[in-house]
Amino acid sequence: MKTKVSLAVIILTSAFGNVLLSKGMKQMGDISQLSPGEMLGAAIAALLNLWVAIGMVLLTIFFISFLATLSWADLSYVLPATAPSYLLVAALSHWLLGETVSPWRWLGTVLIVAGVALVARTEVRTTP
Amino acid sequence: MIFALLATLVLTSAAGEILITHGMKRAGEIHDFRPRAFLAALWRAARGGWVPAGVVALAVSFFALMAALSAADASFVIPATAATYVLNTLGAGLFLKERVNATRWAGAVLVAAGVALVSL
C-alpha cells in the first residue's frame, strides 16, 4: 500500500512540477543566449515567478518521495514504475501549455504503458 | 563533443541513482512517515555519504544535460536519456544485487523505447 501511495506521489509531483516549472520559465523568456553570469541571475530571478516557485516545491517533494521509496523498493522496479509521469507530462503539456502531441508521442505512450504493466507484475523488492 | 556529453549525462545519471539507492537501503527501510521521524530518517541516510555522493553525480548529469541541450536539439538529446532505463537496470543487477528477471528486463526495454519516442 505504501508503495502504491509513494509511486502516485512521485508520478504526480514530478509531472506537475516539471510542467509548471516549464510554464513559468516560458514566461521569463529564453535565457539560453545570455552569458553565464546573466543566466545565473535570470535563473535566480525566475524563483520569484509563481509557477516556477510552485514547480520547485513540487519537484522537491518528488525527490524526497523518490529517496524514501528507494529505502525499501528495488531501483529497477521504481524507475519503470515512475515512467507514467512521462505520459502525464505529454498530456499536461498539451492541456496546460498548448503544445502539440505528435503520433510518435502517442506510440511512445503505448510502449511505456506496456513496459510499466510488465514491471508492475514483478516483485517490489528482490534483495534481502 | 555532443557524444561525450551524452555519455557523461547517461553514465553519471545511472551512477547517481545507484549510489542513492545503495545509501537509502543501507540506512534502512522507512516505516514512520510522520514529519520528525521521516526527516530524521533522511538525515541518517545523508550522513552515510552514499546519498550525497549520488546527489553530486546527479548534479553533474543535470549540468551535462543543460550543456547538451544548448548544443543540440532537445528531440535528439532527450531520447538519448532513455538509455538510462537500461543502464540503471543493468547497474541494479550488477551492483545492488537486485534480481532482474526477464519480465522486468522486457518492461525496462519497452519503457526505454517508449520514452525515446515520446520525446519526438
The string of pLDDT tens digits covering residues B1-18 is 788 888 999 999 999 999
The minimal CB distance from B118 to the residues A112, A118, A120 is found for A112
Q: Do A111 and B110 touch (CB under 8 A)?
A: yes
pLDDT at A32: 66
The minimal CB distance from A64 to the residues B42, B106, B120 is found for B42
- Rounded to a whole number of angstroms, the distance from the CA of B103 to the nearest CA of chain A is 6
pLDDT at B17: 95
In the structure, what pLDDT confidence band is assigned to residue B24 with cuts at 50, 70 and 90?
very high
Q: State the DSSP H helix or E strand holding residue B99, giving kind and residue range, or none if neither.
A: none
Q: State which residue of chain A sits closest to B118, comparing Cα positions.
A: A105
- Rounded to a whole number of angstroms, the distance from the CA of B8 to the nearest CA of chain A is 20
Q: Which of B44, B110, B119 to mutate to test the interface with A (most CBs of A within 10 A)?
A: B110
- Rounded to a whole number of angstroms, the distance from the CA of A70 to the nearest CA of chain B is 6
The minimal CB distance from B115 to the residues A70, A71, A112 is found for A112
Q: Do A105 and B25 touch (CB under 8 A)?
A: no
Res. B102: pLDDT tops 80 = yes
Instruction: Kindly write down the DSSP assignment for every residue of chain A, as one continuous string.
Output: -HHHHHHHHHHHHHHHHHHHHHHHHHHH---TTS-HHHHHHHHHHHTTSHHHHHHHHHHHHHHHHHHHHHTTS-HHHHHHHTTHHHHHHHHHHHHHH-----HHHHHHHHHHHHHHHHHHTS-S----
pLDDT at A14: 92
Q: Does B57 touch chain A (CB under 8 A)?
A: no
For the full predicted model, state whether its pTM sits above 0.90: no
For B66-75, the CB contacts below 8 A with 24+ separation are B67/B5, B68/B2, B68/B5, B68/B6, B68/B9, B70/A32, B71/B1, B71/B2, B71/B5, B72/B2, B74/B119, B75/B119, B75/B120
Q: State which residue of chain A sits closest to B67, comparing Cα positions.
A: A32
Residues of A in contact with B93 (CB under 8 A): 76
pLDDT at A10: 96
Q: Do B97 and A127 touch (CB under 8 A)?
A: yes
Query: Residue range B108-112: average pLDDT?
Result: 91
- From first to last of its 128 residues, chain A has per-residue pLDDT tens of 889 999 999 999 999 998 888 888 878 777 667 777 887 787 788 888 899 899 989 999 999 999 999 999 999 899 888 888 888 888 888 888 887 778 888 798 889 889 888 888 888 888 88
Residues of A in contact with B108 (CB under 8 A): 76, 79-80, 115, 119
Instruction: Please report the ipTM that was assigned to this predicted complex.
Output: 0.73
- Rounded to a whole number of angstroms, the distance from the CA of B66 to the nearest CA of chain A is 10
Summary mean pLDDT of chain B = 89
Which grid cell sits at A109? 505512450
pLDDT at B110: 93
